[in-house]
Each structure stands twice: as C-alpha cells, then as structure tokens.
C-alpha cells in the first residue's frame, strides 16, 4: 500500500503542530523547527504507527521524543523529535551514542542530527512484547530463540566495546522485531562511563524476571534460574567469547 505523506508546511497548524512541539510550543518555535527540518532535507511526514498523539497515528513516544515516519531524499526514515519538556537540551548526544553502537552493527542506523531532531533508520516491525504475545503454533520456539540469540549477540558486542545501554531491562519497549532482524533502540540513557551489563541485564529480563520470562518458559522450557545465574556470574567476571558461549549453551540458544 502507498502511504500518504503530509508536507511539513502543514505542520504550522493544529493538529499537526502538536507533533513538532509536544506537549506545547509557541508558533515561533514551530516555525523554527520547520526550518530546521528543511535544512535536514525533510519535506514530508507520514502519520502512521501503533501509537497515537491526540488523534494522529505515530511510531512512538517516550520522555525525550516523539517518533514518526518521514521522508528524506525520497527514502523513509524515522524522525525522533525532541519534546519541548525533555530534560535533554539537544539531540546531539544521542547521535554520538548511536554512532558508537552503529560501529558494531547495533541499533538503527543514524543518518543525521540537529538540535531538535534525530534522523535514523526506520525499523518496521513490532515491539518485542507485542511480537512475543502474537507468537503461536509450531515454529514459535525457533522464532523466539532466533530473536533472543540475535539480541544477545548485539548485547555481547556492546559489552565488548564497554558501552552500557542503560535501559535494556525494559526490553518490551526497547527492541523492535522485524521480518528479518530484531534491533535494540533508544540509546538515550546509554553510557561509555558505566560498567557495561547488557548481556546480564537482558538475560535477566528474558529468563529470570517475571513477565517475559514466564511467557518464554511456556514457549520453550529453559534451564533453571540457578543454572542461568551461575553461568551469568562467570560471564560477569570475565566477558570472554568462551564464557558468552557457555551462557548461550545453558540458555539452549
Ligand atoms: N528507528 C525507529 N523505527 C521505528 N520506531 C521507532 C524507532 N525509534 C523509536 N521508535 C518508536 O518510538 C518509541 C519512542 O522512541 P524512544 O527512542 O524510546 O524515545 P525516548 O528516548 O523518548 O524514550 C519507541 O518505543 C519505538 O516504539
Ligand atoms: Mg524510550
């Protein structure tokens, strides 16, 4: 299906202006943001996605940004728009962090950044929790294992470069599962200063915490929590490939 795109010129007015300046902005701020978009070569926005802002469909909303599909040089991209009430004064820092994770093939590809906008790869798919809830029938275990393995490998590469995602335990929100790949998103709270605990945090969320672990256990029977915790301890002491493989083995991945 062809999606319809709305010219950014229309975003000076309600209801569209709410998207560019959420939760509230003056018309001067909105106009300045439209200029900023023009400089980024973004001329239109497509209102679609699983969430809504007022009555408009969008990709998502967090405490920092509102995310929509937009077009840049005829290509669909995801545009993260800084909320006017965000703690962050600009989007640059998140762009720097995204570049670091992109260097080990993690996260959506970053294309451009300005004070109030982040231009990145548009990930088609579902949030992990929705995706997992819709898994059924034969092949479910294989699909789930494949996705978890994919994400654990990403986390391992982040651990290796000393990068901590920070909000990984909130996996239901921070993994988008598409046709061919699953991708970690939202590196806004990440750090290169903290000790990285990506693999440990995500393993806990997948297999030890309550919500997702319980559902996963129904799809395929896993090792005991004690066994998982033991092998995690070994990995935590020495984050080697060998210890990571031991973990994968216990997790039957
Ligand atoms: N690259 C993307 N492609 C598709 N959807 C995205 C993308 N980035 C973010 N989203 C959606 O937007 C939501 C909010 O983005 P997020 O980066 O988590 O913002 P915040 O930093 O404000 O929490 C996400 O939960 C996700 O559903
Ligand atoms: Mg978020």
| Percentage of the residues of the chain whose pLDDT score is greater than 70 | 100
Give 82-131 pLDDT, tens digit per residue: 999 999 999 999 999 999 999 999 999 999 999 999 999 999 999 999 99
Pocket test for ligand 1, best of 47, 66, 67 (most atoms within 8 A of CB): 67
pLDDT reported for residue 1: 64
> Which ligand number lies closest to the CA of residue 184?
1
CA of 186 from ligand 1 middle (Å) equals 6
CA of 13 from ligand 1 middle (Å) equals 24
User: Quick one: average pLDDT of 9-37?
Assistant: 97
Give 178-212 pLDDT, tens digit per residue: 999 999 999 988 999 999 999 999 999 999 987 89
Pocket test for ligand 1, best of 185, 187, 189, 190 (most atoms within 8 A of CB): 185
Interior/surface letters 190-229, b for 16+ CB within 10 angstroms, e for the rest: beeeeebbbbbbbbbbbbeeeebbeebeebeebeeeeebe
State the closest ligand 1 atom to the C-alpha of 62, by its place in the atom list counted from 1: 22
CA distance 163 to 138: 37
Contacts of 90 (CB under 8 A, 6+ apart): 82, 115, 116
- Which regions of 20-168 does DSSP assign to beta strands (E)? 42-46, 51-53, 56-58, 60-61, 65-72, 75-82, 110-113, 117-121, 126-127
User: Quick one: average pLDDT of 48-60?
Assistant: 96
pLDDT reported for residue 70: 98
Report how far apart the first and last C-alpha atoms of the chain are (Å, whole number): 37
94 lines ligand 1 (CB under 6 A): no
pLDDT, mean over the chain:
95
- Measuring CA to CA, how many Å separate 172 from each of 98, 177, 184, 193? 20, 10, 10, 25
Tell me: pLDDT of 49 over 90: yes
pLDDT reported for residue 171: 82
67 lines ligand 1 (CB under 6 A): yes
pLDDT reported for residue 210: 77
70 lines ligand 1 (CB under 6 A): no
Tell me: pLDDT of 77 over 80: yes
Give 25-41 pLDDT, tens digit per residue: 999 999 999 999 999 99
| Percentage of the residues of the chain whose pLDDT score is greater than 90 | 89
Tell me: pLDDT of 169 over 80: no
């Amino acid at each position: 299906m062809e999606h319809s795109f709305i010219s950014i010129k229309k975003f000076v007015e309600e209801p569209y202006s709410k998207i560019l300046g959420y939760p509230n902005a003056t018309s001067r701020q909105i106009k300045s943001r439209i200029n900023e978009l023009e400089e980024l070569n973004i001329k239109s926005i497509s209102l679609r996605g699983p969430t809504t802002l007022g009555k408009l469909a969008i990709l998502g909303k967090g405490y920092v940004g509102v995310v929509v599909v937009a077009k840049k040089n005829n290509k669909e991209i995801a545009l993260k728009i800084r909320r006017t009430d965000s703690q962050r004064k600009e989007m640059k820092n998140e762009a720097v962090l995204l570049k670091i994770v992109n260097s080990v093939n993690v996260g959506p590809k970053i294309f451009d950044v300005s004070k109030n906008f982040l231009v990145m790869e548009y990930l088609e798919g579902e949030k992990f929790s929705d995706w997992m809830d819709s898994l059924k029938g034969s092949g479910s275990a294989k699909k789930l294992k494949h996705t978890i393995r994919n994400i654990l490998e990403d986390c391992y590469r982040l651990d290796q470069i000393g990068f901590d995602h920070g909000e990984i335990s909130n996996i239901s929100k921070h993994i988008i599962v598409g046709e061919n790949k699953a991708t970690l998103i939202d590196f806004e709270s990440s750090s290169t200063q903290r000790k990285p605990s990506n693999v440990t945090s995500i393993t806990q969320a997948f297999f030890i915490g309550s919500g997702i672990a319980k559902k996963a256990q129904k799809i395929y029977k896993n090792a005991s929590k004690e066994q998982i915790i033991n092998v995690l301890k070994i990995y935590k002491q020495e984050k080697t490939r060998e210890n990571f493989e031991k973990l994968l083995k216990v997790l039957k991945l």
